[in-house]
Amino acid sequence: MTKWALFLFMLMLLPGCRQGEQTGSRGIDREVDLLLGKMTLREKIGQMSQIDVAALMKRVDPHGGFYGPFLEPNVLDKDSLQKYIVEYGISCVFNIGPHGYSIREWHGYIKEIQDYALHRTRLGIPVLYGVDAMHGASLTVGATLFPQQLAMASTWNPDLVKQAAEITAYEMRASNLPLTFGPSLDLGKHPVWSRLNESFGEDVLLTTILSKSTTEGMEGPGNSVDDKTRIATSIKHYIAYSFPLTGKDRTPAWFPEHYVREYFLPPFTECIRSGVHIVLLNSGELNGVPLHADKYWLKNVLRDEIGFDGIIMSDWYDIEKLNFFHHVAPTYKEAIIKALDAGIDMVMVPLDNRFMDLLTEIVNEGSIAESRIDESVRRILKLKYKLGLFEHPYRNPDEYPDFGSAGFRHVASQCALESVVLLKNADNILPLDRNLKVLVTGPAANTMSALNGGWTYSWQGHAADTYASEKNTILEAVRNELGADKLIYEPGSGFDSVIDINKAVKAAGLVDCIILCLGEPSYAETPGYIEDLYLPDAQTDLALAMAATGKPVILVLTEGRPRLISRFEEQMEGVLLSFLPGNEGGDALACVIFGDYNPNGKLPVTYPRYPNDLINYDHRYSERADHQFGNNHGYHPQYPFGYGLSYTSFGYANLQLSKDTIGPGDSLVVAVDIKNTGKVNGYEVAQLYIRDVYANLTPPFKRLRAFNKIFLFAGEQKTVRFIIQTEDLNYVGQDNQWTIEEGEFEVCIENLTTNFYLQD
Ligand code: BGC
């Protein structure tokens, strides 16, 4: 080896000089072109296709159809591997079998799939494997499970969200999973929606900031996804998925374009500008056009306007659904043409070979040019190179010593603690005196699945009690804090049906206080449909019966959306909530109940009072409850957006602005003094809202424009400063353009308000 060759070799071994950087993006482009040049049409179409692992697994009855049970332990079927991975050259495999796998099991399955791709296909292109990591690497047994996104949003802590995302990426890679379908950037504006818990809540700013923290944490600095601890993200679900008119998943949404641009688009734009690799589409329809066939939102806006050059990915089955579900294409074949014409690159097929066969026919007939196929394949191969899959198609789990470590668990515990929102504390019943005798009751008291929700060890999350049996339910955690002799447990009711309320009433006679754990069983997507936002009657009856005992009741809610409690809330002394805190949630709730931790979570969504009262906090002036014409049917929630109590109190004073008039391009400094006026240390989330007093399009009553979570010792005071730019005062006008109008604005922080003027 010459001196120069040795020098270059040593340079390649430097930590920053991995495959992506070594090849550089131009190098990758060259490699991609070379490979593409060798590919047949069939191989290219294989690269555009994604298959559900269910299609590769052995069934108990090989002829029993897709819904027949899997062989246990799960085994990959060699004929299916040969068919899909070798003959069709499928690019991407996703999803999990019926239950969670350890990192070694994942390694085994993925190595087997990869070996078919690498050694039995002509070109040896590695397969890309993806799963939903909605709250940690949550389909891997033994991984660190964080709160669901809505509970993470209740922390209002972007740094913590980023740390959780970094750990998730590490544990995904440890499981040999380099791709996730997430985070979800959907605005959680409809409380009935069964995927609300997968969102960061109803506000655009909070969603945008936390989405960026997540993608940055997962993809790493500079989106260096070839790093063995980072993964590629697929931001979803583009666009306007989360606010269907009925609240039911995958049903139509109707919004003027200016609303879509102002509310749904910003989180996507921000994450795309920070370099994410994939955009996963909305399975529903917007203004009568299914997003999978919407050239305007995919081509004109996503590609041309925002400049996204990554992969546009279809959601599950959604191309064929253009035909039989949405009825915009008379045949599957026409559906494929529409979807490709709209700009889709990769398709979740997900279960058979018809997509590949039909697309081959379509190209051979000339309805779609092969150059159009090349565009998509180029993007997909590029990502495979960037992820380092050609060099490391799989990794040895031993390379990940921190998987499931105590350090990672500590971060998950912190997330769970900060996700807890104290909503009511009459007569300071909380923290609870440890000398009291307590009855623990309710369906959510003794199950891990009510703490975790869906996407936990499986799609619906039903097996959390098996896989997380060493973690504490609320009951177990309270018992650990209090001692078994001071605690009685009676479930009283299931989630939907009564068990024995009388028994719980009798037990209440023997204690000083009741901890009532209500909420929801686990679910994901359509199985989470509900007809009624109220908590089911069985749980309401239990709550009313507990209140009637005259013993103080502390309601602990663990649920994926704000189920209504107005039929009994007034009779509860204390109310605590976490929107699914994950595996560490039982301990976190017990810590808060007994005062080991001072709660600081704030609601990332409005908690409605009545089913016909589903109004977001950023409603219009005309939706105010105190409207001058005596309208008291407006925004009158059980608890407002941003709300959350503490065991200490905070005083706000001296709200000051650096100027009272600003012009375009100026910035404004807003300062406020916050003092911890109570006796315990605590975190507070300072929230700055701005209200446009008059505008040509009816302005929202207020919008969150900045927030800052700070820690204050008892008695301590800090001045918090925010910088407001004139762009923070923009809105999208009827012409669908961002616009800024001069006039008066009000700044509101807690109970303080002041105003300023914007002049041209
Ligand atoms: C969901 C997506 C998910 C995909 C893959 C779909 O049904 O809508 O959010 O990423 O399945 O699991």
Single out the residue in 571, 593, 615 at which a domain terminates.
593
Residues 112 and 137 in one domain: yes
Give strand pairing partners of 180: 131
Q: Label residue 183 by pLDDT band (50, 70, 90).
A: very high
Amino acid at residue number 754: T
**CB of 132 closer than 6 angstroms to any ligand 1 atom:** yes
**Pairwise CA distance, residues 710 & 708, whole Å:** 6
User: What's the DSSP call for residue 462?
Assistant: T
- The answer to whether position 727 is within a domain reads yes
Of 340, 269, 275, the residue nearest 301 (C-alpha): 269
Residue to mutate, 94, 149, 181, ligand 1, most ligand atoms under 8 Å from C-beta: 181
Residues 387 and 508 in one domain: no
Residue 101 dihedral angles phi and psi, to the nearest 5°:
-120, 150
**Pairwise CA distance, residues 382 & 388, whole Å:** 10
What distance in angstroms lies between residue 69's CA and the mean position of ligand 1's atoms? 21
What distance in angstroms lies between residue 249's CA and the mean position of ligand 1's atoms? 12
Marked catalytic residue, from 186, 249, 315, 692: 315
**Pairwise CA distance, residues 417 & 683, whole Å:** 12
Specify the higher pLDDT residue, 25 or 548.
Answer: 548
- The answer to whether position 284 is within a domain reads yes
Of 24, 132, 142, 129, the residue nearest 403 (C-alpha): 142
- The answer to whether position 158 is within a domain reads yes
- The answer to whether position 602 is within a domain reads no
- As given in the structure block, the two tokens for residue 6 are 């040795």
Residues 263 and 126 in one domain: yes
Which ranges constitute the DSSP H helices of 350-435?
354-365, 370-386, 406-419
Coil vs helix vs strand at 488: strand
Average pLDDT along the chain: 95
Residues 554 and 698 in one domain: no
**Pairwise CA distance, residues 342 & 367, whole Å:** 14
Residue nearest ligand 1's atom 11 by CA: 316
Q: Label residue 629 by pLDDT band (50, 70, 90).
A: low
The answer to whether residues 564 and 533 touch, using CB atoms and an 8 Å cutoff, is yes
What distance in angstroms lies between residue 95's CA and the mean position of ligand 1's atoms? 9
pLDDT tens digits, 642-690 = 999 999 999 999 999 999 999 988 999 999 999 999 999 999 999 999 9
Residues 376 and 435 in one domain: no
**CB of 297 closer than 6 angstroms to any ligand 1 atom:** no
What distance in angstroms lies between residue 348's CA and the mean position of ligand 1's atoms? 9
**Pairwise CA distance, residues 547 & 516, whole Å:** 10
Single out the residue in 575, 593, 611 at which a domain terminates.
593
**Pairwise CA distance, residues 223 & 20, whole Å:** 11
Residues 529 and 662 in one domain: no
**Pairwise CA distance, residues 644 & 98, whole Å:** 38
Number of neighbours of residue 514 by Cβ within 10 angstroms:
27
Q: Which residues contact 130 (CB under 8 A, 6 or more apart)?
A: 50, 92, 93, 94, 177, 178, 179, 180, 181, 234
Residues 584 and 702 in one domain: no
- The answer to whether position 3 is within a domain reads no
Please compute the mean of the pLDDT values over residues 246-251 and round it to a whole number: 94
The answer to whether residues 103 and 85 touch, using CB atoms and an 8 Å cutoff, is no
Q: Label residue 23 by pLDDT band (50, 70, 90).
A: low
Q: Which residues contact 554 (CB under 8 A, 6 or more apart)?
A: 429, 430, 432, 513, 514, 515, 516, 572, 573, 574, 575, 576, 593
Number of neighbours of residue 293 by Cβ within 10 angstroms:
24
Length, in residues, of the chain: 760
pLDDT at position 470, please? 97
**CB of 236 closer than 6 angstroms to any ligand 1 atom:** yes
| CATH number of the domain where residue 98 is located | 3.20.20.300
Residue nearest ligand 1's atom 7 by CA: 316
Q: What is the pTM of this model?
A: 0.95
**CB of 315 closer than 6 angstroms to any ligand 1 atom:** yes
Single out the residue in 593, 612, 637 at which a domain terminates.
593
The answer to whether residues 382 and 277 touch, using CB atoms and an 8 Å cutoff, is no
Coil vs helix vs strand at 13: helix
**Pairwise CA distance, residues 411 & 419, whole Å:** 12
**CB of 332 closer than 6 angstroms to any ligand 1 atom:** no
Compute the C-alpha angle 322/326/327, nearest 5°: 85
Residue 302 dihedral angles phi and psi, to the nearest 5°:
-65, -50
Please compute the mean of the pLDDT values over residues 439-455 and round it to a whole number: 98
- Residue 459 CA: nearest ligand 1 atom is 12
The helix (run of H) or strand (run of E) holding residue 440 is strand 438-441
What distance in angstroms lies between residue 237's CA and the mean position of ligand 1's atoms? 9
pLDDT tens digits, 579-605 = 999 999 999 999 999 999 999 999 999
The helix (run of H) or strand (run of E) holding residue 504 is helix 501-508
What distance in angstroms lies between residue 316's CA and the mean position of ligand 1's atoms? 6
In the predicted structure, residue 20 carries a pLDDT above the cut 70: no
Q: C-alpha dihedral over 315, 319, 325, 331, to 10 degrees?
A: -170
Residues 543 and 684 in one domain: no
What distance in angstroms lies between residue 563's CA and the mean position of ligand 1's atoms? 24
Q: Which residues contact 409 (CB under 8 A, 6 or more apart)?
A: 144, 584
- Secondary structure (DSSP) of 471-523: S--HHHHHHHHH-GGGEEEE--B-SSSBS-HHHHHHHHTT-SEEEEEEE----
Q: Which residue has the tokens 């936002």?
A: 533
pLDDT at position 25, please? 75
**CB of 317 closer than 6 angstroms to any ligand 1 atom:** no
- The answer to whether position 448 is within a domain reads yes
The answer to whether residues 217 and 162 touch, using CB atoms and an 8 Å cutoff, is yes
**Pairwise CA distance, residues 377 & 38, whole Å:** 12
**Pairwise CA distance, residues 680 & 645, whole Å:** 13
Residues 385 and 424 in one domain: no
Considering its fold, how many domains does the chain have in total? 3
pLDDT tens digits, 388-425 = 999 999 999 999 999 999 999 999 999 999 999 999 99
How far, CA to CA in Å, does 92 sit from each of 89, 110, 347, 350, 384?
A: 9, 11, 9, 10, 10
Please compute the mean of the pLDDT values over residues 225-233 and round it to a whole number: 97
**CB of 316 closer than 6 angstroms to any ligand 1 atom:** yes
**CB of 490 closer than 6 angstroms to any ligand 1 atom:** no
Please compute the mean of the pLDDT values over residues 439-463 and round it to a whole number: 97
**Pairwise CA distance, residues 192 & 611, whole Å:** 9
**CB of 314 closer than 6 angstroms to any ligand 1 atom:** no
What distance in angstroms lies between residue 313's CA and the mean position of ligand 1's atoms? 11
How far, CA to CA in Å, does 314 sit from each of 88, 188, 284, 355, 389?
A: 19, 21, 11, 13, 22
pLDDT at position 9, please? 37
**CB of 750 closer than 6 angstroms to any ligand 1 atom:** no
- The answer to whether position 628 is within a domain reads no
pLDDT tens digits, 329-354 = 999 999 999 999 999 999 999 999 99
pLDDT at position 14, please? 39
Compute the C-alpha angle 623/626/630, nearest 5°: 95
**CB of 95 closer than 6 angstroms to any ligand 1 atom:** yes
- As given in the structure block, the two tokens for residue 573 are 């002394």
Residues 386 and 463 in one domain: no
Coil vs helix vs strand at 639: strand
Of 630, 616, 756, the residue nearest 693 (C-alpha): 756
Residue nearest ligand 1's atom 10 by CA: 181
Q: Is 315 a catalytic residue?
A: yes
Residue to mutate, 231, 315, 348, ligand 1, most ligand atoms under 8 Å from C-beta: 315
What distance in angstroms lies between residue 315's CA and the mean position of ligand 1's atoms? 6
Please compute the mean of the pLDDT values over residues 107-128 and round it to a whole number: 98
Low-confidence winner among 76-90, 509-523, 614-628 (lowest mean pLDDT): 614-628
**CB of 318 closer than 6 angstroms to any ligand 1 atom:** no
Strands 667-676, 717-725: pairing is: antiparallel
The answer to whether residues 702 and 689 touch, using CB atoms and an 8 Å cutoff, is yes
- The answer to whether position 607 is within a domain reads no
Of 26, 222, 198, 268, the residue nearest 561 (C-alpha): 198
How far, CA to CA in Å, does 544 sit from each of 425, 509, 563, 568?
A: 18, 15, 16, 6
- Residue 237 CA: nearest ligand 1 atom is 9
Q: How many helices (H) and strands (E) does the chain have?
A: 22, 26
Q: C-alpha dihedral over 183, 189, 193, 197, to 10 degrees?
A: 40
In the predicted structure, residue 67 carries a pLDDT above the cut 90: no
- As given in the structure block, the two tokens for residue 327 are 């009825």
Residues 392 and 453 in one domain: no
- Secondary structure (DSSP) of 182-225: --B------TT-TTGGGS--S-HHHHHHHHHHHHHHHH-GGG-T
Residues 389 and 418 in one domain: no
Q: Label residue 443 by pLDDT band (50, 70, 90).
A: very high
Q: Which residue has the tokens 């009637």?
A: 548
**Pairwise CA distance, residues 469 & 745, whole Å:** 53
The radius of gyration computed from the CA coordinates of the chain, to the nearest angstrom, equals: 27
pLDDT tens digits, 274-310 = 999 999 999 999 999 999 999 999 999 999 999 999 9
- Secondary structure (DSSP) of 736-760: SSEE---EEEEEEETTEEEEEEE--
**Pairwise CA distance, residues 377 & 389, whole Å:** 16
The answer to whether residues 684 and 741 touch, using CB atoms and an 8 Å cutoff, is no
In the predicted structure, residue 40 carries a pLDDT above the cut 80: yes
- Residue 234 CA: nearest ligand 1 atom is 10
Alpha-carbon torsion (396, 401, 402, 405), positive or negative = positive
Domain region containing 477: 414-593
| CATH number of the domain where residue 450 is located | 3.40.50.1700
pLDDT at position 63, please? 82
pLDDT at position 106, please? 97
How far, CA to CA in Å, does 759 sit from each of 502, 553, 662?
A: 67, 54, 6
Alpha-carbon torsion (459, 461, 466, 470), positive or negative = positive
Amino acid at residue number 606: T
**Pairwise CA distance, residues 368 & 362, whole Å:** 6
**Pairwise CA distance, residues 568 & 549, whole Å:** 13
| CATH number of the domain where residue 703 is located | 2.60.40.10
pLDDT at position 68, please? 84
In the predicted structure, residue 734 carries a pLDDT above the cut 60: yes
**Pairwise CA distance, residues 312 & 303, whole Å:** 10
The answer to whether residues 646 and 600 touch, using CB atoms and an 8 Å cutoff, is yes
